[in-house]
Structure 1
């Protein structure tokens, strides 16, 4: 720190270090690359790249606190452009006030926040007139040059340090800027962290169990912190954590990932009972298991029960974690989506709109949860008949997702499918056809021709041909699709039966009634399910059409 600087400043609100804190192996080297004490007056910038929950913000916060001790000005700011402008303007105003107080010239100007912010960036660049050390951390940047216009980018300067965190791999044009990829913790780091939670006199058997836990939990920081808390604060034995919490949780997740929601529901109900007998009802482990239970309940169609459970969870999470904790916000998103699934569309729209605003403020507009919630909001608006607004929002969303996630990301492909479907619902069949043809080509390339999502889009494309007046093309495409579905999924899969039903519909529209009845026999409603789409066209329709 320069002793002659009149007032050391720390601006912004860096998060506190999590308890328990997981020291990352990259921390010492990252500090050495940025510290003035270690590296002298070299020019240095760094970018931490990692997925959501990887611990990049926590690592940046640890670096920020140590560099702030060496700097005269330390600024922490989130990635949103307006936040940056306001933070820069606030810093410039405070510095100017300090200079006036110490005898500088006061200039009474009427300036916008952006004009004041530009003066701040110019100040950082000009060491001759402002030689003080500064460090700026910009958290959760989605795209450095997309969000940070050239003038907003902190300048390269020997007396300055810039650190960014992002989920997106950024192109670094300067050799002074280094990339630090933050993945899951290594197994030895996981074992060391979990062993730290045990008393010093723990047996070798208990430490052996820690090795099994480390292998099952993996290197995700949030999961590790939860297990560490169970071992140290709740004083659960490692064997009990493994047998009653970790193993059943992993099994339930595997069941849900394979679509076996009924089995997962039974597993999770038992797990909730077990955890509730060992832990407080607001413990993060109990809350996480109940959230998984709500997902499983929705998977078997128990929407009301799932909604009641999520509503109670939002209340508990707000108390235990805080109303703006990412887990609380995600649970609110799941609850709002369930309102739509049970038909309460006005409430779903209201809650999703409020949630999008909160997510953009807390997590940022480009955070995956924010983007997903915007997609849910657009879909619910479409279901409520607000097609024009839903299409406009989905169009903006696809553009944002492509910028943040990349054009081939599965989430982007799903949003494009929803957009094409809405264009079809407005009667713009030609546009829907063009979009679906392009989407099928991209899904074949990215996901593969036999992926269930690709097959679903082919079914939608065939249906759209029929709705556009080309029933023969719809029928031909559906028959080709049926052969692929039977090969990949088997003859009794619900999607296969649904395709038989669609074939029957278009056969009947072409006057081929006997063939339509034969196709319907392969798509008995009891086998297909209770969905309205499957029951809306029956043998009675064929008989009436034939008379």
Structure 2
């Protein structure tokens, strides 16, 4: 059982207290109780350019209102956010305003220092001998505070508590006339036990940060444009310590904010190179920003599960500081990395799981250890952005790695992102977060994601953009990727050809079907030369070339090309291969659009029969082929049959794929359309209105499919006899289509044309 007896706790530190007593006896042989009011210890001086922050008022209200009736107020936050300065400002203000009779400031970075500080207080306030009982006597005095005319008002500040265990048995007691204030980088549950309150200290606001820089420079007759100050403050992540040291660097070097900002974005320079040397830090600071978190990392490493905090922080350092999904950091590639790093460190010789194995629970434990030391924020309630970290912690962490270590870590982070990416993106928030993390990784990793080849996550991120409805952004992503890969790996490399394939596809999806067909034709010629006519990538290119020929208006050419593709797929891959079945599906599509609906229906019926035999009735492609067949029958004039077929298909898709799967939502679009075409425009409007609610939730309001549903609502409202309501809905849609797709996108042009036509027709009527 833990020893909580005050006397025994203090006795454990008797040798330290006795040694301290000898110094006091030598310095002050005659002891008398200090006169009131009295200050024990030294309040740190106010930093130049000190900012009065909103959190300071929160602190004053919390401490003055609660007192030690709740045992204490704990200021917790990342190293460098200014906790000590806030505590000192509060203590100094209270002292100067006569609110205190006794103020005790104790540096509390170890248990020994806390005991020594309390011993010093006992010597000065109680005139006792500085022995092993002195600290205990001071705590007892805080409990009772002798009464004369009134009770003495006291404040004890315990600055920089490194480990909550150091205060076991040493917490100042509850007293309505006393207050306790603690600063720490920790946020363990033990700190807020017994009614103690936690106040998280964050970064400067943008305004506070810019004002701090401006004042620090003005004190040395330096003035910079306001926009440059704001840009630099943002580049430093609004961290008070970083701003203070950067200002000193600017003053010492004469450098401008703009030039410093350029150097800060230069990945070839370490953070320590852009800060003052340790011996000339401002404001009596002990460490640079680059080194200020090293002690916290070491302590996190010793928390269970030991040896995982540092490698976990290294992985976090490669990703998006504004939010990393838990699933990335607990994925198999991440676990393998953690296990390998722990095995290769001295920390592997600890109790707990064997060094060679790391579980998901261990990975979460490492995140919690980093969270407890305020090195990251780990919020369990936001799984898509569960981990947040300051960018300078990331920078300082990456700076400790060798180039080879950084490259290995970058590929590991890319593997982890890819492992966490769902095959089908049901949740837009997760996909958005994964894309943001891929972008952040690409900026940090640089060439590593192209050695020895282009990592697959680069393609996955671009395609995710397109699937989210941002076809233009996806096109631009792959345009950059084609250039980057071509420059690094050469124009004939398979990765360059793959990037060109994706670029052509999203060019078409962005509204340029003719340009997509031309790009695929050019790519096909190169692939046939580099890879050969029967290579699977070449056959895939032919598939997409045929598709975009049809989308560009050449439906006869598309039908002929897809028919030849079917023959070559059967020869190369066999008649039952999934790719062969898909080739038959597009052959049916363009055959029907070319005017031969009967043949298209026949092809679809045979294809569906083969798919059920080969793939099974619940396979995703089988369900797509059912949709194709229903659509062809509707196009042949059997609208009621199409409605019935899509209604049956929807039940199966909701069962197999789920209600939010893109294919399920697409079936609901087609079902509503065919209801309208079958003579039920009111039913179509109702179905589309219900679907719009689900699409806004699942896809977002700016997704192209969501915009399509809004168009259909307007269209079928008109068909149902509400031309004014239809025109108003279409006019509202036009503004959003122009904003999302651009003014020259075909969908925008079609919407604008339809609105003009409807208004003209309605005016004539």
TM range (shorter): 0.5 to 0.7
Distance 1:206 1:448, change over 3 A: same
Unaligned runs of 5+ in 1: 1-183, 189-202, 221-236
The separation in 1 between residues aligned to 2:413 and 2:406, in whole angstroms, is: 11
Q: For the Cα contact (< 8 Å) 2:462–2:474, is it kept in 1? A: yes
Distance 1:427 1:245, change over 3 A: same
Looking at structure 2, the residues matched to 218 and 330 of structure 1 have their Cα atoms a distance apart, in angstroms, of 28
Could you tell me which of 422, 440, 465 is aligned with 2:675?
Answer: 465
2:542 & 2:525 partners in 1: Cα distance?
10
Q: Give the conservation status (yes or no) of the 8 Å contact 2:524–2:541.
A: yes
Q: Distance in 2 between matches of 1:303 and 1:430?
A: 32
Q: Deviations over 1:195-251 (max 9, x none)?
A: xxxxxxxx985477346436635899xxxxxxxxxxxxxxxx984734993364454
Tell me the residue number matched to 2:268: none
Pairing 1:37-436 to 2, within 5 Å after superposition: 206=404, 209-210=407-408, 212-213=410-411, 216=414, 239=448, 241-242=450-451, 245-246=454-455, 248-249=458-459, 251-436=461-646
* 489-498 vs 313-322, which moves further: 489-498
Of 431-440 and 447-456, more deviation after overlay is shown by: 447-456
8 A Cα contact 1:345 1:384, kept in partner: yes
1:435 deviation in Å? 0.3
**Is the alpha carbon distance of 1:209 and 1:391 closer, same or farther for their aligned partners in structure 2, counting shifts above 3 Å?**
same
Check conservation: 2:591, 2:600, Cα contact below 8 A.
yes
Tell whether the 8 Å contact from 1:440 to 1:458 is kept in structure 2 after alignment.
Answer: yes
| 1:290/1:484 CA distance change after superposition, 3 Å | closer
Structure 2: distance between partners of 1:205 and 1:501: 53
1:477 aligns with 2:687: yes
Pick closer, same or farther for the CA change 1:187–1:424 going to 2, 3 Å.
same
Counterpart CA distance in 2 for 1:259 and 1:513 is: 29
Secondary structure of 1:245's aligned partner: coil
Contact kept, 8 Å, 2:469 with 2:704, in 1: the verdict is: no
Instruction: Quote the offset at 1:287 in angstroms.
Output: 1.8
CA 1:476–1:257: 2 relative to 1, 3 Å: closer
Structure 1 distance, partners of 2:708, 2:449, is: 46
- 1:373 deviation in Å? 1.3
What CA distance in whole angstroms lies between the structure 2 residues aligned with 1:501 and 1:323?
Answer: 42
Q: Give the superposed CA RMSD.
A: 3.9
Q: Distance in 2 between matches of 1:341 and 1:476?
A: 30
SS of the residue corresponding to residue 524 of structure 1 reads helix
**Aligned residues of 1:317 and 1:328 also touching (Cα < 8 A):** yes
In 1: Cα distance, 2:459 partner to 2:688 partner: 40
Give unpaired runs (5+ residues) of structure 2.
1-331, 337-400, 419-445, 739-744
Q: For residues 71-127 of structure 1, what are the alpha-carbon distances to aligned partners after superposition, in whole Å with 9 as ceiling and x for unaligned?
A: xxxxxxxxxxxxxxxxxxxxxxxxxxxxxxxxxxxxxxxxxxxxxxxxxxxxxxxxx
Identify if the C-alpha distance between structure 1 residues 285 and 458 changes in structure 2 by more than 3 Å, giving closer, same or farther. closer
Equivalent residues of 1:525, 1:535 under 8 A apart = no
How many pairs align?
A: 337
Which residue in the other structure is 1:9 paired with? none
Would you say the 8 A contact 1:500–1:522 is kept in 2? no
TM-score, length of structure 2 as denominator length:
0.39
Q: Deviations for 1:172-214, whole angstroms, at most 9, x for unmatched residues?
A: xxxxxxxxxxxx99998xxxxxxxxxxxxxx985477346436
Alpha-carbon distance between aligned partners in 2 of 1:490 and 1:238, rounded to the nearest angstrom: 34
